[in-house]
Structure 1
Amino acid sequence: MKPSIITNNVTPKHSNGKRFIISCFFIICFLCTLASINEIRYESLLNLSKCAFSRAPSLVSNSSSLDSFPPSLRTIKSSPSSDDEIRVLVGILTLPDQYHKRHFLRMIYGTQSPEGARVDLKFVFCNLTKEDQKVLVALEIMRYNDIIILNCSENMNKGKTYTYFSSLPSIFNNNEGPYPPYHYVLKADDDTYFRLDNLVKSLRPLPREDLYYGYVIPCPSMDPFVNYMSGMGYLVSWDIAEWIKESDIPKAHLKGPEDKIFGNWMRNGHRGKNRFNAKWSMYNYPEPHTGCTHELWPDTIAVHLLKTQEKWIKTLEYFNVTKNLQPSKMYHIP
């Protein structure tokens, strides 16, 4: 046998083996490099697949229940009665120039945290008319986002209350959040102090539809179906705000004492079949003494006619609103 023939038969076998090993080595290196580069992507993909598999059983087994779907997949409005958290919109009707009063009320209400409820406070007034308002109110909105500017001329008894209630559905109804956006809407004067925790507790057992709530006028009356609720602050369920927006009854009767006019809407439209008289947890400040007031007491929901700083301070002192002030080396308040 010729050596050359043997050499030619053996050399290709070793050469092919080396090529195979080198190729495998480079392939492994390439895969390791690719895996290192894409580690985050693989991790995210893995988490996404785990999330999908963890959701899958509930989506299939409970497909007949809306609660089994993420909120973004729900296509109908959720039932208010199934919602344990009470949502309340407090609209304080005031004037654009009342900057100091708004800042004061932000402190008053910002330190209250009613349990089991979401209470949003908004200051409500009509269109701005001065150059300084356009700057200062814009700064307030940027800082606090708690102002509603209605499309109206500033007034007390010529339709401002109607514009307030009728504007709310257009402002707050949307397809992204819960329905209704608020269970209750409160109209309040800027000289009324509401104790939000007591307000929420009083609302908890009440209906969330066709509700009309407040301090019954005249003062001696305890029957909420006879006249109307005092303008110091009255509350209605969200469906009534929607009715005010759509009905011709309020539109035809706008001028006059706003709380009395509102009561007329309720009567003429056969609304407010559920009514709650919050008297005597709502009342006027004790001085001067009248048939609409009594002394301050712990079960208070609202105190009205706080026309001076002195009356505000006495009221806040009575309810010990600074009791949760924490001690600090930065101040000494005896």
Structure 2
Amino acid sequence: MSAPSFPHDELDTLPPAGLFVGVFSTDSAFERRALVRSTWASHPRSREGAGDGDDGVGTSRTIVRFILGQPRKDWERRIQLEMEEYHDIIILPVAENMNAGKSHTYFSWASINAWVPPVYMKTPVPPPLFSYSNASKPPPPLASHDPSDAWQDLSSPQPQAWVRPDFVVKVDDDAFVMLAELEARLRLEMHAKPPVDGSSSPRTTIHRRSDTPPRHNNGSYRKLLNVQTNTYSTFQDQDPLIYWGYLVTNRLHRFMAGELYALSWSLVDWVARDPSVKELTRGAEDKQTAKWMKMHPQAEKVRWISERCWIYDHPRAGTVYGHGFLFPSEVRRVRKSMSSALKHLLQFAASSSLPSSLSWDTETQAIALPSSDSEQFDTNELLTPYGRTPASWAQSSVSTFHVRYTPPVSDLGTLESIEALVEGSEMSSIQPDTTSSLSTTSTQDAVSRAWANREGRNARYEGKRVGGTIVVHFIKQNTWFLETALALLEGEDYTQAESQKQDILEDCDSDETQNIFDGQRTIGSLDLPFATYAETVRYGRR
């Protein structure tokens, strides 16, 4: 059974979720705050999504603020000036720290002071009614990166009051967040039908581990509440209890990784009020938050929602979570490749003998798949409950664990070097001559072809607005941050080669088009945009 696709067909019929996004920062991190303001906090492709976007409707209720502890004496004046200029800094009544209570203080502050814009426009499904729906406050001074709808409403004769957020999000400042992607996931989760058996929550005790790992819900949005009608029922008169992020599991712990996680409003309110939580504020903050969720009086109803595919570390990080910048088109190719391999293996398991399309390699003691499947698979590893998966399934075309990143060619141009950081791109897979330099003709040709054959944003997002990367983490240098911005926010929707091909398709009828493209492929040369197989061989592409 294939996994349901994202985004859900009913996404745009639902009212946008209210998100208060708190970016944890420090007094001296002005440059990083400036980068966030000018990129993912405000950029149209972060707030509206890919393609034509949605005019910012989805993130019209998403607010980004920087969360600081008390600044050092020498920095007080500068922080005061920055607050006056940008209106996006929150100073918590706690000494600056990471694992000594800052997160708890943030959620406690948010339970009193976090507000977001209301729903400004009508949607087929009206806004849900929760216990906090009637709380409101006049709009505060706006930041330059706040939603355009909020600015427009503020200039009206009677600005609408702001309301409580549906989610309070904690983000590290070494994370790059695509706001439209984040809001779409949380919007669907807010409207999702909770599992009746509490299967998305771990055991309530925080001292004992379950004998079997809990099942964590990864996409409960596929079953929505009353989306087919124009009526909306609450969760049986109960607010949603959602703990969302990247689930990390090991022998001792299960928690949402600290680069970004979200708590629904009722969880935030409970965390701020419960006296037992206040005794568990020191230690690794993301692990402490998971402990709080297990202590909740309705812990069995807290929905632990894990998003794994689209939260990862920067390609240069060298961590186990790092790989190239990822887009939906590459994920589809990977899934297709894995599906093909698994199909062969299931045939083998069912028949207890090799299908005619397979052969057994006596030297490696593994199944040799047809030439279209490049890797060999050991069925004894794959067809057991705890068997290993093939190494290539965890292999990146860009990054290698614990190995410092090296570009495929040493002297690529700026945009070519960004393309080389895209997972699965032709540029990332160039095998240069021994010189590893553009000085050789063959390497120059390979780079030119890879650049011309790259995918435009429309192809990478498969014509959809959302469905790609949510968070890139472990961005330890500002250079890496700018690389991420160029990879995820910039670039044309259609490359020159894609536009040329589309023009030809539009100018020719179907019969003529078939004759033009039979046996041909694009190689990206300006002099010869299409090449036959023989010409391709001459250019070094087999």
TM range, smaller chain = 0.5 to 0.7
2:168 paired residue number: 185
Note if contact 1:232-1:304 (Cα within 8 Å) is conserved in structure 2.
Answer: yes
Q: 1:62-211 alignment to 2 at 5 Å?
A: 84-108=15-39, 109-111=41-43, 112-114=46-48, 115-117=57-59, 118-131=61-74, 133-172=75-114, 175-176=136-137, 181-207=164-190, 209-211=240-242
Note the residue ranges of structure 1 that are not aligned, 5 or more in a row. 1-81, 221-225, 325-334
2:487 paired residue number: 318
| In the alignment, structure 1 residue 260 sits paired with structure 2 residue 290 | no
1:321 CA drift (Å): 2.9
1:200 CA drift (Å): 1.4
Give the whole-Å Cα distance in 2 for the aligned partners of 1:240 and 1:170: 13
Of 457, 460, 473, the match for 1:304: 473
Give the whole-Å Cα distance in 2 for the aligned partners of 1:229 and 1:161: 14
CA deviations on 1:193-215 (whole Å, 9 max, x unpaired) are: 00111111212211262110000
Q: Which has the higher helix share?
A: 1
Aligned residue identity for 1:176: K
Note if contact 1:211-1:275 (Cα within 8 Å) is conserved in structure 2.
Answer: yes
Give the whole-Å Cα distance in 1 for the aligned partners of 2:104 and 2:14: 28
Over the residues paired in the alignment, what is the CA RMSD in angstroms? 2.6
- Match of 1:319, SS state, is helix
Aligned residue identity for 1:101: R
Note if contact 1:244-1:250 (Cα within 8 Å) is conserved in structure 2.
Answer: yes
Give the whole-Å Cα distance in 2 for the aligned partners of 1:315 and 1:141: 27
- Match of 2:188, SS state, is coil
Note the residue ranges of structure 2 that are not aligned, 5 or more in a row. 1-12, 49-56, 116-134, 139-160, 192-239, 328-467, 494-542
Give the whole-Å Cα distance in 2 for the aligned partners of 1:309 and 1:97: 14
- Residues 310 and 179 (structure 1), Cα distance of their counterparts in 2 relative to 1, 3 Å cut: closer
Of 238, 250, 275, the match for 1:248: 275
Give the whole-Å Cα distance in 2 for the aligned partners of 1:211 and 1:304: 22
CA deviations on 1:212-263 (whole Å, 9 max, x unpaired) are: 000011389xxxxx71100011011111111111111220111110100111
| TM-score, normalised relative to structure 2 | 0.41
| TM-score, normalised relative to structure 1 | 0.65
Note if contact 1:126-1:153 (Cα within 8 Å) is conserved in structure 2.
Answer: yes
- Residues 205 and 96 (structure 1), Cα distance of their counterparts in 2 relative to 1, 3 Å cut: same
- Match of 2:323, SS state, is coil
Aligned residue identity for 1:137: I
CA deviations on 1:28-70 (whole Å, 9 max, x unpaired) are: xxxxxxxxxxxxxxxxxxxxxxxxxxxxxxxxxxxxxxxxxxx
- Match of 2:244, SS state, is strand
| In the alignment, structure 1 residue 213 sits paired with structure 2 residue 144 | no
Give the whole-Å Cα distance in 2 for the aligned partners of 1:95 and 1:322: 32
Give the whole-Å Cα distance in 1 for the aligned partners of 2:274 and 2:14: 28
